[in-house]
Amino acid sequence: MAEAKSTQVKLIKKYKNRRLYDLDRSQYITVEDLQSYVMQDIDFQVIDVVSGKDLTNATLLQIFVELEAQSTEALSSKVLCQLIKLSQHPMSQHYKQILEQMLTQMQSQTNPYLQTAQEASDMWIKQSEKMMHTWQEWMRKHHE
């Protein structure tokens, strides 16, 4: 049963032994549970119990790395290299905002109920082209 998206952020504690504890459910959970939260659009924050440090991004990256190690790779090596380079660019905050906006737009316009893999592929290509055009326009405006 899928949980509805709430405005409240789930708090997840991470212990030294790498165990994750969901305070809302009052139980230990797995990384797979966190992946399920992502897929259900359930916001969460992972906090290190000892230091109090926010580990959410590191945990999300761990989930992504595990997905990449499986049979389907979401990003090519070229895209990963570009993301690393952009993270070191002086305008990285602007690039991050633009990328977030474009991916959100692509996700909202992609129909999860497409009948065939070809239709899904065609939709993704169309959205990718639109995203690239938007990116190029932004780059042209801000680098003239």
Rg of the chain over Cα atoms, rounded to whole angstroms, equals 18
Q: How far apart are CA 98 and CA 89, in angstroms?
A: 14
Res. 3: pLDDT tops 50 = no
Residues 43-65 pLDDT 10s: 999 999 999 999 999 999 888 88
Q: Percent helix, strand, coil in the chain (nearest 5)? A: 55, 10, 35
Q: Would you state the pLDDT for residue 80? A: 79
Res. 1: pLDDT tops 60 = no
Which residues make Cβ contacts (< 8 Å) with residue 62, sequence separation at least 6? 31
Which tokens is 85 given? 């380079």
Residues 6-28 pLDDT 10s: 568 999 999 988 899 999 999 99
Q: How far apart are CA 123 and CA 120, in angstroms?
A: 5
Residues 70-96 pLDDT 10s: 766 677 778 878 878 877 777 777 777
The model carries a pTM of 0.63
The amino acid sitting at 31 is: V
Q: How far apart are CA 139 and CA 81, in angstroms?
A: 19
Res. 2: pLDDT tops 50 = no
